[in-house]
Chain A
Amino acid sequence: MVRIPSRDAESDGDIDSTMTPMIDVVFLLLIFFVWTAGTQIVEYMLPGQLSAETGNLPANLDNPPPEQDFDKVVIRLRWDGGLPDWSVNDQPLETIEEVATMLQSLAGIKPDAPLVIHPDSPVPLGYVIELFDESRLAGFSKVSFAVNQE
Chain B
Amino acid sequence: MRNPVIHRSRRAGFNMTPMIDVVFLLIIFFLVSSHLARQELRLELPLPVAQSGEDDPAVPAPRVTINVDAEGNVTVGGRAVAMHEIGEQLVTARRELGDTMEVRIRGSRLTEYGAVEPVMLACTRAGIWNVSYAVWRQEH
Chain A residues with CB under 8 Å of chain B are: 1-10, 18, 22, 25, 29, 33, 36, 41-52, 54-57, 59-61, 64-65, 119-126, 128-130, 132-133, 136-137, 145, 147-150
Contacts and interface: CB of A to CB of B under 8 A. Distances in A.
A54 to B, nearest CB: 6
Contacts of A52: 121, 124
B135 A46 contact: yes
B53 A128 contact: no
Given A44-B50, A46-B133, A129 B109 contact: yes
28 contacts: A3-B2, A6-B6, A7-B7, A9-B7, A22-B20, A29-B28, A33-B31, A41-B140, A42-B136, A44-B136, A45-B55, A46-B54, A46-B132, A46-B133, A49-B129, A49-B131, A50-B124, A52-B124, A54-B124, A60-B126, A64-B129, A121-B117, A122-B112, A123-B113, A124-B112, A130-B50, A133-B52, A149-B121
A108 B52 CA distance: 18
Given A7-B6, A129-B109, A137 B51 contact: yes
B64 interface: no
Range, interface on chain B: 35 or more
A45 B135 contact: yes
Contacts of A65: 129
Interface string B42-74: 000001111111111000000000001000000
B34 to A, nearest CB: 11
B119 to A, nearest CB: 10
B83 to A, nearest CB: 11
Contacts, number: 163
Contact of B127 (A45, A46, A55, A130): A55
B2 A4 contact: yes
Given A1-B1, A129-B50, A133-B52, A124 B114 contact: no
Interface string B1-37: 1111111110001000100100010011001000100
B52 A136 contact: yes
Contacts of A25: 24
Contacts of A128: 48, 113, 116
B82 interface: no
A19 to B, nearest CB: 10
